[in-house]
Amino acid sequence: MSKSRQAIHRLDYTPPAFLIDRVDLNFELDETATRVTSRLVVQRNPKVASADAPLTIDGEDLTLESVKLDGALLTPAQFELTPSSLTLPGIEQDAIIEIVTRLNPAANTQLMGLYLSNGNFFTQCEAEGFRRITYYLDRPDVMTRFTTTIIADKTRFPVLLSNGNRVGEGVLDRNRHWVKWVDPFRKPAYLFALVAGKLVSQTGQHTTSGGKTVHIEVYVEPGDLDKCEHALAAAQKAMRWDEERFGLVYDLDTYMIVATSDFNMGAMENKGLNIFNTKYVLAKPDTATDADFDGIDSVVAHEYFHNWTGNRVTCRDWFQLSLKEGLTVYRDQEFSSDIGSRAVARIQNVRTLRELQFAEDAGPQAHPVRPDSYLEINNFYTMTVYEKGAEVVRMIATLLGRDGFRKGMELYFRRHDGQAVTCDDFVAAMADANNADLEQFKRWYSQAGIPQLDCSSDYNEAARTFTLTVRQSCPPTPGQPEKLPFHIPLALGLVDRRGHDLPLQLDGETMPGGTTRVLELREAEQSFTFVNVPCPPVPSLLRDFSAPVRLDYPWTQDDLIFLVACDSDAFCRWEAANTCASRLLKELYLAAARNEKIVLPAGFIDSLRCLLTEPELDPALVALMLELPGERTLLEEIDSVDPGLLQQVCQSVKQQLARELRAELLIRYAQLNDGEPYRYDSIEVAQRSLKNVCLSYLAELDEPMVGEMLANQYARADNMTDRLAALKALVNRDGGEAQLADFAARWQDDALVMDKWFTLQATSRRPGALSRVEKLMDHPAFSLRNPNKVRALISAFCQQNLAHFHAADGYGYAFAADRIIEIDKSNPQIAARLASCFNRWPRLEPKRQAMIRAELERISTTENLSNGTFEIVSKALQA
Ligand SMILES: [Zn+2]
């Protein structure tokens, strides 16, 4: 059987010929034969002239039992049924359609639609899962009022949840019970949700600014009730924050979060009933790291914020995905910045963007924030749509200012509440509310690729002027050979030799205007002249990472070390350290490739020494500055790279630094390892992060004392952050066999903690990593059917363990290809994600390129390969 591979194009959008005014759903739940009765009130779309178009509705993997049109049962001759649709001709204006379907949740390994997890029922409908539940106009611009009745066995499924408000419940024969839910808000089908099972809940409240009480309920499996407190508190914080920052208040009486261990994504914002991966709900100090707690804060906030940016105003079509995702990621980033350290949050976001989104935007899967076509929409839940999309929204906020941005948001909701709209509508609201011109800015939505800013400067001593010249360009990306100039906010400062920010006065201005200015770039080349500059300054460019670009400026190493010590902008300070280290690592790599040796410059070592010994600095910031640039980021910047050699170079630099800074590292570690009981607050989190960075350097020293330190921290830790940091170092150092066994014995029944155990071994740099991964696939806690396990073991190996994945024998590639083909049969969405591990093959040296190409060809010619995996692999082959 050959599949049809039909791409969908953005410009082909047409509004729906029919609308659905309301839908009444009735579920008779059964593990293998669930019966769904759906009653649709449909009418022709008054805005579309198509009086004779038939009604065609989507359906997939369903058994159709019956169709009634206005009460009359139809014979098969009266409708047309295909594997993906049901067509009813002859509807004039409006009609009531009743459809009965049967489906098998137990066989649903794709985890899209209605499926079982640990014996409980869950749904996932975004993007196109609802059509796997019943025949429906499964597109986001059809917004409908939903009523849902759930019938199930009372003993096995005591909790029955859906969207909106619970309006009735009762008992039936055969030990069954029912609950009826009504959602008062119109919504597209992708926001539908149903949960049924043996669940318990922790509850809390939030009182809105208007005095209304909102009930918050977090549902988990009975053994996990002691791990919900952080998620519940995060929901309360998010509700308060959205009222204060944007004036957005929750609109239902109850807000429910349910956790499931089988989930393709992080979490889903279904109206009033958010379904979460357990990873983003369950946490307590001895099972979750500080990063896990942070992740829960941001994902809970993200899904909650979608209630306005996504649910109340949704996307017209899936090409507009960034309308809700870019905006909501921006909102959750701002939330995390406000509840924690703004500087640290920003640096972490930029690191993720560079490591993952930049790689995507420079490779075969590069696409605009608003893509133009897709074969499988699930492939477009990407770093570009989410993270670059958030950067685009952030740039609008930078250009308009905080108040201007809020005015834009207010206009956006005034115009579009209850509608399905486009990215253009969002930008128009922002522009109109501020009388701003954002026409050129919209190129950020349509042009892919990472813009490059090449900067140079000239100081005129006689005139006391400093001129900055910026040339912008953007490399070609698939389907887009030429780019037009972007509208880019470039924030900068000028630092004098004493380390002070100079007041900035542009030529033609009568007064200086602040020490950080946002220049607006609109042309391929522009110059800006600052006057009254008393001495040659060191420019501090792209403050707070004001645009998602690569920037080059001919800073000397001394300039960079000066900025590390003096820049008032925390991001640029970190960036200077990062640029210094990254230049150095690239030089050392090239030297090693030529079999030459280079010693580390003393200035670089001394600047790190200063960071370690300066007590005034924020420990979290110091930790970030001490961390060397990641191998994945460096891989993007070296041509024809050998990942094994790159890993050796990075490790040897870390070893040299550890030897040089041994005394300072030991002192700082001892100061921070104070034996105080664990607390999760920003000060303690910052101190732990620096302590564990020091530990990771010390672990590079070949001294018995260090082995003892690691073993001690592992054994004595009262929290997962410290325990895991020690275990990671032990695993990389000598295998840590005893501790790994101890860890597994302690946590064998905790799936999320076991995920960490799998990842540590999958990412170990010690020889034999692949054979250990293969052996771990037989471990009783592992399952190829569970997305978290696939990510923890297989994706972690293929995407984070560069040296072993790219081993010269090619076994890593064959292993990945075998798993992609295998997983594609049960869960194509997860297989397609895994397949992106091959995306960067053109950056590698020729032998590895050839081996990867062969594996990509093997995957692409596999019989019955899903559209999703085919799309990723075929694009990679075209690179
Ligand atoms: Zn989202």
For residue 567, which of 588, 537, 591, 529 has the smallest C-alpha distance?
Answer: 537
Instruction: Decide if 609 contacts 661 (C-beta within 8 A).
Output: yes
Taking the centre of ligand 1 as the mean of its atom positions, its distance from the CA of residue 755, in whole angstroms, is 23
Label residue 2 by pLDDT band (50, 70, 90). Answer: very low
Instruction: Decide if 186 contacts 64 (C-beta within 8 A).
Output: no
Q: What is the DSSP letter of 496?
A: -
Label residue 575 by pLDDT band (50, 70, 90). Answer: very high
Reply yes or no on whether the pLDDT at 511 is more than 70: yes
Taking the centre of ligand 1 as the mean of its atom positions, its distance from the CA of residue 310, in whole angstroms, is 8
CA triple 268-270-276, angle to 5 deg: 35
Neighbours of ion ligand 1 (CB under 5 A): 325, 328
Output the six-digit token pair for 696.
């990771």
Reply yes or no on whether the pLDDT at 434 is more than 80: yes
Output the six-digit token pair for 641.
């790279």
Taking the centre of ligand 1 as the mean of its atom positions, its distance from the CA of residue 302, in whole angstroms, is 6
pLDDT, tens only, 590-644: 999 999 988 899 999 999 999 999 989 999 999 999 999 999 999 999 999 999 9
Label residue 406 by pLDDT band (50, 70, 90). Answer: very high
Taking the centre of ligand 1 as the mean of its atom positions, its distance from the CA of residue 331, in whole angstroms, is 10
* Residue type present at position 597: K
Instruction: Decide if 468 contacts 455 (C-beta within 8 A).
Output: yes
CB count within 10 Å of CB 479 equals 11
* Residue type present at position 495: V
Q: Residue 24 in 3-state DSSP?
A: strand
Instruction: Decide if 336 contacts 298 (C-beta within 8 A).
Output: yes
Report the distance separating Cα 248 and Cα 214, nearest Å.
14
pLDDT for the residue numbered 598: 81
| Region at 25 (left for phi over 0; alpha for psi -120 to 50; beta for the rest) | beta
Report the distance separating Cα 162 and Cα 141, nearest Å.
21
Mean pLDDT calculated for residue range 564-592: 97
Label residue 4 by pLDDT band (50, 70, 90). Answer: low
Instruction: Decide if 266 contacts 299 (C-beta within 8 A).
Output: yes
Taking the centre of ligand 1 as the mean of its atom positions, its distance from the CA of residue 308, in whole angstroms, is 11
Q: Which residues pair with 468 in a beta bridge?
A: 457, 528
pLDDT for the residue numbered 49: 82
Q: Residue 719 in 3-state DSSP?
A: coil
Residues with active-site annotation: 303
CB count within 10 Å of CB 209 equals 11
Cα 607 off chain centre by: 33
In order, the DSSP letters of 296-340 are: HHHHHHHHHHTTTBTTTBEESSGGGHHHHHHHHHHHHHHHHHHHS
Taking the centre of ligand 1 as the mean of its atom positions, its distance from the CA of residue 865, in whole angstroms, is 28
Torsion of CA 310, 313, 317, 323, to 10 degrees: -60
Report the distance separating Cα 631 and Cα 652, nearest Å.
13
Mean pLDDT calculated for residue range 128-143: 98
Taking the centre of ligand 1 as the mean of its atom positions, its distance from the CA of residue 323, in whole angstroms, is 10
Backbone angles phi, psi at 10, to 5 degrees: -60, -40
Taking the centre of ligand 1 as the mean of its atom positions, its distance from the CA of residue 856, in whole angstroms, is 30
Taking the centre of ligand 1 as the mean of its atom positions, its distance from the CA of residue 299, in whole angstroms, is 8
C-alpha distance from residue 496 to each of 29, 463, 534 (Å) = 71, 17, 9
Question: Exposed/middle/buried for 583, CB within 10 Å: 0-12, 13-18, 19+?
Answer: middle
Q: Residue 156 in 3-state DSSP?
A: coil
pLDDT, tens only, 540-566: 999 999 999 999 999 999 999 999 999
Report the distance separating Cα 832 and Cα 377, nearest Å.
11
Q: Residue 501 in 3-state DSSP?
A: strand
Q: What is the DSSP letter of 600?
A: P
For residue 843, which of 388, 449, 364 has the smallest C-alpha distance?
Answer: 364
Taking the centre of ligand 1 as the mean of its atom positions, its distance from the CA of residue 328, in whole angstroms, is 6
In three state form, how does the secondary structure of 174-185 look?
Answer: CCEEEEEEECCC
Does the pTM surpass 0.95? The reply is: yes
Reply yes or no on whether the pLDDT at 51 is more than 90: no
Reply yes or no on whether the pLDDT at 330 is more than 80: yes
Report the distance separating Cα 234 and Cα 378, nearest Å.
28
Q: Which residues pair with 297 in a beta bridge?
A: none
In order, the DSSP letters of 109-121 are: TT--EEEEETTEE
Output the six-digit token pair for 81.
């049924």
Output the six-digit token pair for 83.
């594997």
What's the mean per-residue pLDDT of the chain?
Answer: 97
Q: Which helix (H) or strand (E) holds 214?
A: strand 213-220
Label residue 1 by pLDDT band (50, 70, 90). Answer: very low
Q: What is the DSSP letter of 641?
A: B
Reply yes or no on whether the pLDDT at 481 is more than 80: yes
Q: Could you check whether the bond before residue 362 is cis, i.e. omega within 30 degrees of 0?
A: no
* Residue type present at position 393: V
Report the distance separating Cα 488 and Cα 399, nearest Å.
9
Ordered alpha helix ranges (H), 79-148: none
Taking the centre of ligand 1 as the mean of its atom positions, its distance from the CA of residue 410, in whole angstroms, is 20
Sheet with strand 254-260: strands edge to edge = 200-207, 213-220, 254-260, 273-277, 267-268
Instruction: Decide if 340 contacts 830 (C-beta within 8 A).
Output: no
Question: Exposed/middle/buried for 25, CB within 10 Å: 0-12, 13-18, 19+?
Answer: buried
Taking the centre of ligand 1 as the mean of its atom positions, its distance from the CA of residue 879, in whole angstroms, is 29
Taking the centre of ligand 1 as the mean of its atom positions, its distance from the CA of residue 300, in whole angstroms, is 10
Taking the centre of ligand 1 as the mean of its atom positions, its distance from the CA of residue 56, in whole angstroms, is 29
Q: What is the DSSP letter of 223?
A: G
Instruction: Decide if 861 contacts 822 (C-beta within 8 A).
Output: no
The dihedral through the CA atoms of 686, 689, 692, 694 has a sign that is: negative
Reply yes or no on whether the pLDDT at 8 is more than 60: yes
pLDDT, tens only, 669-707: 999 999 999 999 999 999 999 999 999 999 999 999 999
Taking the centre of ligand 1 as the mean of its atom positions, its distance from the CA of residue 210, in whole angstroms, is 27
Report the distance separating Cα 299 and Cα 305, nearest Å.
10
Report the distance separating Cα 352 and Cα 339, nearest Å.
20
Label residue 462 by pLDDT band (50, 70, 90). Answer: very high
Taking the centre of ligand 1 as the mean of its atom positions, its distance from the CA of residue 604, in whole angstroms, is 41
pLDDT for the residue numbered 50: 75
**First CA to last CA distance, the chain:** 28
C-alpha distance from residue 235 to each of 218, 221, 232, 276, 781 (Å) = 10, 19, 5, 13, 31
Instruction: Decide if 804 contacts 769 (C-beta within 8 A).
Output: yes
C-alpha distance from residue 117 to each of 124, 794, 803 (Å) = 12, 21, 35
For residue 307, which of 139, 123, 183 has the smallest C-alpha distance?
Answer: 183
By DSSP bridging, strand 55-58 and strand 63-69 are unpaired
Report the distance separating Cα 294 and Cα 461, nearest Å.
49
Taking the centre of ligand 1 as the mean of its atom positions, its distance from the CA of residue 132, in whole angstroms, is 21
Report the distance separating Cα 183 and Cα 256, nearest Å.
13
CB count within 10 Å of CB 669 equals 20
Taking the centre of ligand 1 as the mean of its atom positions, its distance from the CA of residue 291, in whole angstroms, is 19
pLDDT for the residue numbered 682: 93
Instruction: Decide if 159 contacts 198 (C-beta within 8 A).
Output: yes
Taking the centre of ligand 1 as the mean of its atom positions, its distance from the CA of residue 388, in whole angstroms, is 13
Show Cβ contacts of residue 879 under 8 Å, excluding neighbours closer than 6 positions: 363, 364, 839, 841, 842
Taking the centre of ligand 1 as the mean of its atom positions, its distance from the CA of residue 321, in whole angstroms, is 9
pLDDT, tens only, 57-105: 999 999 999 999 999 999 999 999 999 999 999 899 999 999 999 999 9
Taking the centre of ligand 1 as the mean of its atom positions, its distance from the CA of residue 862, in whole angstroms, is 33
Within 45-79, strands assigned E span 55-58, 63-69, 72-73
Report the distance separating Cα 155 and Cα 199, nearest Å.
12
The dihedral through the CA atoms of 250, 253, 257, 263 has a sign that is: negative
What crossing angle do the helices spanning 643-660 and 662-672 adopt, rounded to 10°? 80
pLDDT, tens only, 708-721: 999 999 999 999 99
Mean pLDDT calculated for residue range 18-27: 98
Taking the centre of ligand 1 as the mean of its atom positions, its distance from the CA of residue 304, in whole angstroms, is 9
Q: Residue 876 in 3-state DSSP?
A: helix
Mean pLDDT calculated for residue range 153-175: 98
Report the distance separating Cα 73 and Cα 80, nearest Å.
14
Output the six-digit token pair for 303.
């899904």
Percent of the chain exceeding pLDDT 70 equals 100
Taking the centre of ligand 1 as the mean of its atom positions, its distance from the CA of residue 324, in whole angstroms, is 7
Residue whose pair of structure tokens reads 């990306």 in the numeric block: 477
Taking the centre of ligand 1 as the mean of its atom positions, its distance from the CA of residue 313, in whole angstroms, is 13
Label residue 488 by pLDDT band (50, 70, 90). Answer: very high
Report the distance separating Cα 289 and Cα 726, nearest Å.
12
Reply yes or no on whether the pLDDT at 538 is more than 60: yes
Taking the centre of ligand 1 as the mean of its atom positions, its distance from the CA of residue 332, in whole angstroms, is 10
